[in-house]
Amino acid sequence: MENLIIRFANADDISEIFSLIKELAEFEKLLDQISTTEEELKQTLFGKDNFVEILIAEFENKIVGQALFFKNFSTFLGKPGIYLEDLYVKPEFRSKGIGKALLIKIISIAKERNYGRVEWSVLDWNESAIDFYKRLGAEPLNDWTIFRLTSDKF
């Protein structure tokens, strides 16, 4: 796709990153679960102990999507992998290959780093995302259940 740039985010992108995170949360009907601030997010993503990477999709010099990911590890493979936390493209820019370009870039990063796999979660009601991932060759892990323990339960 012409005029599409996929690049790593930097601290100057924080307002757009936070805005896209809120858009994603609203789409997923989880906006009430955002408890961070833009400044706190900036410190987490770009501070000294950061462990998250973000790819930005720019189309015609406008940020239209992002992919937020971090390293995980597979004991079975004996290798690190990538966990894709968020992949989001603004609704008006979907079906233009932007999400695919972001995912392909993440896969190329995993290959370059000799990682064993790329994994992510998708809400079971998000049929368009599920279909998108399946078209790319991804397979759902239907025999696994995700558990979560939040800090208020520690």
pLDDT digits (tens, 9 = 90+) for 86-111: 999 999 999 999 999 999 999 999 99
Strand partners, 74: 79
C-alpha 128/C-alpha 111 separation (Å) is 27
Q: Indicate the pLDDT class of residue 152, thresholds 50, 70 and 90.
A: confident
Q: Which of 83, 88, 115, 133 is catalytic?
A: 133
CATH number belonging to domain 4-153: 3.40.630.30
Across 105-118, average pLDDT: 97
Average pLDDT over residues 2-23: 97
Do the Cβ atoms of 100 and 92 come closer than 8 Å?
no
The question of whether 133 is a catalytic residue gets the answer yes
36-75 residue pLDDT tens? 999 999 999 999 989 999 999 999 999 999 999 999 999 9
**Residue boundaries of the structural domains of the chain:** 4-153
The span from the CA of 27 to the CA of 10, in Å, is: 25
Report the chain's mean pLDDT, rounded to a whole number.
95
Check residue 150 and give its pLDDT: 80
